[in-house]
Structure 1
Amino acid sequence: MLITAQDTAVVILSYNGKKWHELFLPLIVAEAPSGYSVVVVDNASTDDTADYIRTHFPGVSLLQIAVNKGFAHGYAEALKQISSKYYVLLSADFEVTPGWFPPLHQAMEQHPQMAACQPKIRYYREREKFEYAGAAGGFKDTFGYMFCRGRVLDEIESDQGQYDDNVEIFWASGGCLFVRAELYHKVGGLDDEFYAHQEEIDLCWRLQNAGYTVGYIGSSTVYHVGGSVISYGSPQKLFYNFRNSLIILLKNEPLRRLVWLFPVRLVLDGVAGLHFMMQGKFRECFTVIKAHFNFYGSLGKWMKHRRQARRLVSAQPVKRSVYKGSIVWQYFIKKTRRFSELNWKPQPLKP
């Protein structure tokens, strides 16, 4: 079944998400006249999500996936069946706010080289705080570690208007990701082999390697519950974070950087495992080791993914949103806790 949306399709991936739809879908639907169609993708739920959507939201398009193979696979399957100019990948546990959509759409229209963007993301349960997974836009340091404005490693800031601007970022949160449909498919979309976590970083990196930018729009705000499928701090989340971070480096870094960066990352990940062990967190230490061995065991597959990704690299990939220092050094040695303390600013969006 092919769904032809308006200019924009807001695509909500849902797994046993009825409780979130009861809370959040009414406002999403109410805001739809501002320029988008709503599609709910039921990712093999075991609750009555599909029946609930059909009964209470007959104007919402419903796609059903027979087997749940993770977040990335769910979107990969769904977006093959949706035709529109833009996609907004919106997780079921997000609350939008009145007027959330127009600033994002306007920014995409005004900046044709911007392939994707995200709004400001605040935490649903502590509403004055930024949310861990995206906050005020994601960045990468020189060693490939990811962090956000508003969230440096585990330190989360309160929103006091300090990030109300529109700037270039390195990665946009997959929880509320506005992306050009044509470019999404051109670079291969979300890699469904990731299962979950960091697949949006991989996508944004490939878009930048293809010569496009990624943006943050501070005049749009949404709220995220977080951890509703894979809880924060769980061994499963830790496994995917460590394994997938190695995959995105292998896929997207040029060879001249990989030859020195990979050995450094192996040492740093080893230090992280040792740190867990010294804290008595033996399960977490084992999870780091497990993630590495899983990565090595599938190295042939990931090399194939690298070859596919490198074919898309343009003559001038975008590199403006990379912090040249080490966020790990800043956090643990220099005790940096806020983005503003880095003395480094992202560039404003350019037409």
Structure 2
Amino acid sequence: MPHTTAVVILNWNGVDQLRTFLPSVITHTPNAEIIVADNASTDISVEWIQQNYPSVRIITLNQNYGYAGGYNQALKSVDADYLVLLNSDVEVTEDWLQPLVQTFETNPAVAACQPKIRSYREKKVFEYAGAAGGYIDQYGIPFCKGRVFHELEEDTNQYNQAAEIFWASGACIAVRNDIFKRIGGFDADFFAHMEEIDLCWTIHRMGYSIQYIPESLVYHVGAATLKKDNPKKTFLNFRNSLWMLQKHLPSNKLFPVIFLRMCLDGLAGLHYLSKGQWRQCLAVFNAHMSFYFSAKNKGKRKRLKQLPFYYTDVPVILSKSLIWAYYIRGKKVFNQLF
């Protein structure tokens, strides 16, 4: 029996994004079920889909569970072999899906993959949230091929080879359904931000591969739900990154890495303060306080200990400080880092 694929779009009050981007998904996705999972929207999202695209399956949730919890709830009722989790602000291109599916079909060691992600607003430039595949440094700070901090590269075909990556973008991540559910899905406590990196780290610990597939291309708007300078976004990014390190670091690295990471966070907070961005500074402080008092995260670390551990063997963790490389040594392009 051939494998099945479901493209699942999580939506919360995103009728404008659906009007703009759902048509491209309908047009260019002939061989997959298209599902919209609605996170208890209060706009007319559900009614608009029903009126304009009655073939699209709608899963309605009883509250806004965020990105992580929303997908966990919705995917309980999705039985396809392969899942593609697609943001509502993504424009797909012709034949975008087949290279992702083909990767799963030909390589059983690959548990997740992502396409090339370029900016919807600047079509030749890589997009912040994923670009040509995600990586982290030794302190858990994420970056991408094509994006280091806020430096975005133009796509000149410099990353046109499929490659092993550390994390696949939550804007468009394809994952084997059985692996996703064996893990237990996303960590719903993250709510939003960093949960896909946490999921991918767990996938690596299980011994599977994650791939970047440049033959597939999508365009992403980015920051459609929370703007980049939103203090809630800052809080979630800083807190969730610390949670992720606490869950996955080996015991001998746990204290020194988290201590140094929190010192770096403190410098970031002072930087915000020096620019008069006191709400951002407060968000960093609140993220640290939340991390200090999140006792339940220790239980998650214990549960993950039963999985194989591959931290030191994964070749796509940068074994140095990205902050040092970027700000002190001036290494602002991905190919200069390794």
Contact 2:8/2:37, CA 8 A, preserved across alignment = yes
Could you tell me how far apart the structure 2 residues matched to 1:313 and 1:6 are? Answer: 28
Q: CA deviation at 1:24?
A: 1.5
Distance in 1 between residues matched to 2:13 and 2:272, nearest whole Å: 33
Whole-angstrom distance in 1 between the partners of 2:331 and 2:188: 35
1:187 corresponds to 2:192: no
Aligned to 1:338: 333
Structure-2 residue corresponding to 1:307: 302
Shift of 1:27: 2.1
Residue 47 of structure 1 is matched in structure 2 by 43
Displacement, 1:279? 2.5
The equivalent position to 1:7 in structure 2, one of 4, 7, 14, is 4
1:294 corresponding residue in structure 2: 290
Give the partner amino acid of 1:323.
L
In 2, Cα distance between equivalents of 1:172 and 1:316? 17
The equivalent of 1:229 in structure 2 is 225
**Would you say the 8 A contact 2:117–2:131 is kept in 1?**
yes
Question: How do 1:228-267 and structure 2 match up within 5 A?
Answer: 228-267=224-263
Paired residue for 1:320? 315
Whether contact under 8 Å (2:3, 2:82) holds in the other structure is: no
- Within 1, Cα distance between the matches of 2:328 and 2:311? 34
- Aligned mate of 1:22, from 14, 19, 23: 19
Per-residue CA deviation, residues 302-343 of structure 1 (Å, 9 max, x unaligned), is 11122222222357985121111211111100111111122x
Assess if the C-alpha contact under 8 Å between 1:137 and 1:148 holds in 2.
yes
Specify the code of the residue in structure 2 equivalent to 1:319. Answer: V
CA drift of 1:196 comes to 0.4
Alignment-derived partner of residue 135 in structure 2: 139
Give the Cα–Cα distance (whole angstroms) in 1 for the partners of residues 275 and 9 of structure 2: 39
Select which of 273, 279, 286 maps to 2:269: 273
Cα distance in 2 between the residues matched to 1:119 and 1:285: 34
Is the deviation greater in 49-58 or in 193-202? 49-58
Q: Distance in 1 between matches of 2:189 and 2:217?
A: 30
Mapped contact 1:70–1:196 kept (Cα < 8 A): yes
* Aligned: 1:160 with 2:153: no
1:95 matched residue in structure 2: 91
Match status 1:169 vs 2:165: yes
Give yes or no for contact 2:4–2:81 (8 Å, CA) kept in 1: yes
Q: Aligned partners of 1:341 and 1:179: how far apart in 2?
A: 30
Is the 8 Å Cα contact of residues 212 and 318 (structure 1) preserved in structure 2?
no
**Aligned residue pair count:** 337
Instruction: Supply the distance in 1 between the matched residues of 2:291 and 2:169 (Cα, whole angstroms).
Output: 24
Structure 1 stretches lacking a partner, 5+ long = 345-351
1:59 aligns with 2:33: no
| Mapped partners of 1:318, 1:68: distance in 2 | 38
1:53 to partner: Cα distance: 1.2
The residue correspondences of 1:188-203 to structure 2 (distance < 5 A) are 188-203=184-199
**Which amino acid in structure 1 is aligned with residue 23 of structure 2?**
P
Is 1:113 aligned to residue 109 of structure 2? yes
SS in 1 for 2:224: coil
* RMSD after superposition: 1.5
Q: Residue 84 of structure 1 aligns to a residue in which SS?
A: coil
Identify the residue that residue 174 of structure 2 maps to in structure 1: 178
- The runs of 5 or more residues in structure 2 that have no matched partner are none
Give the whole-Å Cα distance in 2 for the aligned partners of 1:95 and 1:6.
24
Residues 100-155 of structure 1: per-residue CA shift (max 9 Å, x gap): 11111111212211110000111111111111111110001122211111100111
Look up the SS of the partner of 2:59 in the other structure: strand
Secondary structure at 2:36 match in 1:
strand
Deviation at 1:278, TM superposition (A): 2.3
> CA, structure 1 residues 180+291, in 2 after alignment: closer, same or farther (shift >3 Å)?
same
**Is this contact kept in 2: 1:208–1:318, CA < 8 A?**
no
Letter in 1 for 2:123: R
When structure 1 is superposed on structure 2, of 271-280 and 285-294 the one drifting more is 271-280
What letter corresponds to residue 331 of structure 2 in structure 1? Answer: T
Deviations 1:213-263 (A, max 9, x none): 111001111011111111112111111010000000011111111132111
Distance 1:108 1:23 in 2: 29
Aligned residues of 2:29 and 2:95 also touching (Cα < 8 A): no
